Amino acid sequence: DIVMTQSPTSMSISVGDRVTMNCKASQNVGSNVDWYQQKTGQSPKLLIYKASNRYTGVPDRFTGSGSGTDFTFTISNMQAEDLAVYYCMQSNSYPPTFGGGTKLELK
């Protein structure tokens, strides 16, 4: 199975910050990485698919990039409502596998 390693595991941030997190695949997954947001007590929500495409209705402060084994997710202007755990997932081959998550907390 492909292992997805996210870093950092947590970040202390302030509203207005630019936030960047990473996801590394154990083998080449092309551009088949998706990013999900999970707020406390809620189900996950798809934000980015195929590395860099924003899903319907997702604000443009959320961006993704990368290919092959290294991927980046960025929030350009952190809002309080963005506090959550963010997961990457590879959908290149079965089984789809998730990273361990990056938790955003207020400084």
Partner 1 sequence: EVQLVESGGGLVQPGRSLKLSCAASGFTFSNYYMAWVRQAPKKGLEWVATISTSGSRTYYPDSVKGRFTISRDNAKSSLYLQMNSLKSEDTATYYCARHAGIVSSPFAYWGQGTLVTVSS
- For the chain, the straight-line distance linking the first and the last C-alpha, in angstroms and rounded, comes to 36
Cα(101)–Cα(61) distance, integer angstroms:
19
x/- map, 41-80, partner 1, by CB under 8 A: -xxxxx--x-----x-------------------------
- Both tokens assigned to 11: 């970040």
Cα(28)–Cα(79) distance, integer angstroms:
33
Decide whether 32 or 69 has the Cβ nearer to partner 1. 32
Q: Which of 80, 81, 95, 107 binds partner 1 (CB under 8 A)?
A: 95
Which residues contact partner 1 (rule: CB under 8 A)? 1, 32, 34, 36, 42-46, 49, 55, 87, 89, 91-101
